[in-house]
């Protein structure tokens, strides 16, 4: 039995922070990673390096722990279903909803009072021609799966439409571009019996990549209460056991539209590690391993700023001024998240 061992699928920065939270309460961690130089390597107790088809390694990983969680929803269904005899947080059913944009939007729009941006399923160029015209060429084409940080997304205009004639458009969606006032997110942790949440934060994206998260969000109490209520409603409908980040748009006329769900710790929740007593990672690990949830309190105003690409070259200067986190990634790429820091100013 491996009751005091938590298995983590993925060893990036989220896996790293899960390992750090687990170590605080004496829980051992084991990672499964396809990358030999993964961020969590120096923080986990054990690891396996292998791909999603390495049956022998996967079997050893499954046998190494009784409880498992994920650090990304972009995991093939066939891989997730191999964990059916063990407890996976969240369930593979929840991951399968969140990892497919079409499935996710159908799920969300079936909840009373919950709406997303208008969208259409796209499977060929004729679909794209017809639907983009309906949206007055003010829309974004997205892959249904494996898209994050702007990957698999294309802005559609009348002038560039013909560029997509040669693209295989099977399994895409087309979303109407929303003229929003700001973006926020709410993070919820639940074990069904009890649910806790972190207050809304304001998120600033550039080129579809999160640059800055500000707590608290500059929104009215009415909008904040409504956003929390919607997040808790989604959590209940999805029967969450784990952590869920709900990204939202606040429109110019003060309506809330749900943008995306992430059923794992989220970049916009990193501020919780330094601004409150129990972070999103602490509560996830406690919920899984101790069956406890702890309501966070004593919040401090702050900004979380991502260190992206070549900004990492200034990391030594940044850490002299701010609480800073290095993700220990070997290769710097233009839009790669290399670390983050917290500004209480």
Mean pLDDT, residues 169-194 taken together? 94
| The two structure tokens encoding residue 165 | 């004639």
What was the pLDDT predicted at 192?
Answer: 83
How many of the other CB atoms lie within 10 Å of CB of 275?
22
Question: Which residue reads 């929003």 in tokens?
Answer: 180
Buried b (16+ CB within 10 A) or exposed e, 175-195: bbebebbbbbbbbbbbbeeeb
Q: What pLDDT, in 10s, does the model give residues 120-170?
A: 999 999 999 999 999 999 999 999 987 665 567 899 988 889 889 888 899
Cis, peptide link before residue 322, omega less than 30° from 0: no
Residue 63 in contact with residue 47, Cβ under 8 Å?
Answer: no
- CATH architecture, range 5-89: 3-Layer(aba) Sandwich (3.40)
What was the pLDDT predicted at 324?
Answer: 98
Q: Three-state DSSP class for 278?
A: coil
How many of the other CB atoms lie within 10 Å of CB of 145?
16
CATH class for the domain made up of 118-176: alpha beta
What was the pLDDT predicted at 111?
Answer: 98
Cis, peptide link before residue 90, omega less than 30° from 0: yes
Q: Three-state DSSP class for 57?
A: helix
What was the pLDDT predicted at 330?
Answer: 92
Residue 197 in contact with residue 278, Cβ under 8 Å?
Answer: no
Torsion of the alpha carbons at 62, 64, 68 and 72, rounded to the nearest 10: -70
What was the pLDDT predicted at 308?
Answer: 97
In the CATH hierarchy, which fold is given to the domain comprising 180-300?
D-amino Acid Aminotransferase; Chain A, domain 1 (3.30.470)
What was the pLDDT predicted at 136?
Answer: 93
Please give the helix or strand (H or E) that residue 326 lies within, else none. Answer: strand 323-326
Residue 13 vs residues 43, 55, 310, 322, 328: alpha-carbon distances, Å: 11, 25, 18, 19, 8
Q: What pLDDT, in 10s, does the model give residues 19-61?
A: 999 999 999 999 999 999 999 999 999 999 998 889 999 999 9
Does the pLDDT value for residue 68 go beyond 90?
A: yes
pLDDT band, residue 269 (cuts 50/70/90): very high
Tell me the residue length of the chain. Answer: 345
Q: What does pLDDT average to over the chain?
A: 94
CB neighbour list of residue 16: distance below 8 Å, 6 or more residues apart: 39, 40, 43, 327, 328
Q: What pLDDT, in 10s, does the model give residues 71-110?
A: 999 888 889 888 888 999 999 999 999 999 999 999 999 9
Spans of all domains in the chain: 5-89, 118-176, 180-300
Q: What pLDDT, in 10s, does the model give residues 242-255?
A: 999 999 999 999 99
What was the pLDDT predicted at 270?
Answer: 98
Dihedral-angle region of residue 10 (phi above 0 means left; psi in -120 to 50 means alpha; beta otherwise):
left
**CA pair distance 311, 324, nearest whole angstrom:** 13
First to last CA, the chain: 47
């Amino acid at each position: 039995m491996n009751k005091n061992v938590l298995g983590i699928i993925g060893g990036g920065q989220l896996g790293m922070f899960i390992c750090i939270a687990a170590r605080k309460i004496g829980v051992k961690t084991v990672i499964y990673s396809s990358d030999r130089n993964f961020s969590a390597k120096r923080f986990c107790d054990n690891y396996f390096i292998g791909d999603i088809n390495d049956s022998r390694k996967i079997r050893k990983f499954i046998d190494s722990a009784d409880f498992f969680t994920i650090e990304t929803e972009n995991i093939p269904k066939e891989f997730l279903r191999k964990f059916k005899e063990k407890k996976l947080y969240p369930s593979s059913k929840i991951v399968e909803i969140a990892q497919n944009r079409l499935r996710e939007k159908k799920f969300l729009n079936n909840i009373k009072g919950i709406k997303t941006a208008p969208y259409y399923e796209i499977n060929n160029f004729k679909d794209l021609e017809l639907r983009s015209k309906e949206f007055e060429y003010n829309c974004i084409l997205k892959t249904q799966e494996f898209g994050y940080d702007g990957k698999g997304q294309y802005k559609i205009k009348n002038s560039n439409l013909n560029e997509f004639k040669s693209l295989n458009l099977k399994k895409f969606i087309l979303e109407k571009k929303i003229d929003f006032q700001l973006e926020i997110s709410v993070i919820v942790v639940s074990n069904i019996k009890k649910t806790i949440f972190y207050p809304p934060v304001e998120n600033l994206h550039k080129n579809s990549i999160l640059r800055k998260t500000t707590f608290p969000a500059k929104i009215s109490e009415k909008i904040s209460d409504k956003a929390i209520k919607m997040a808790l409603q989604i959590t209940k409908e999805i029967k969450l056991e784990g952590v869920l980040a709900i990204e939202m748009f606040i429109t110019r006329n003060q309506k809330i539209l749900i943008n995306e769900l992430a059923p794992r710790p989220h970049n916009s929740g990193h501020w919780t590690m330094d601004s409150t007593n129990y972070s999103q990672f602490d509560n996830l690990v406690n919920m899984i391993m101790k069956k406890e949830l702890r309501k966070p309190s004593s919040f401090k105003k702050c900004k979380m700023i991502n260190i992206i690409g070549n900004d990492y070259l200034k990391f030594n200067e940044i850490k002299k001024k701010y609480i800073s986190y290095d993700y220990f990634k070997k290769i710097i790429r233009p839009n790669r998240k290399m670390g983050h820091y917290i500004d209480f100013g």
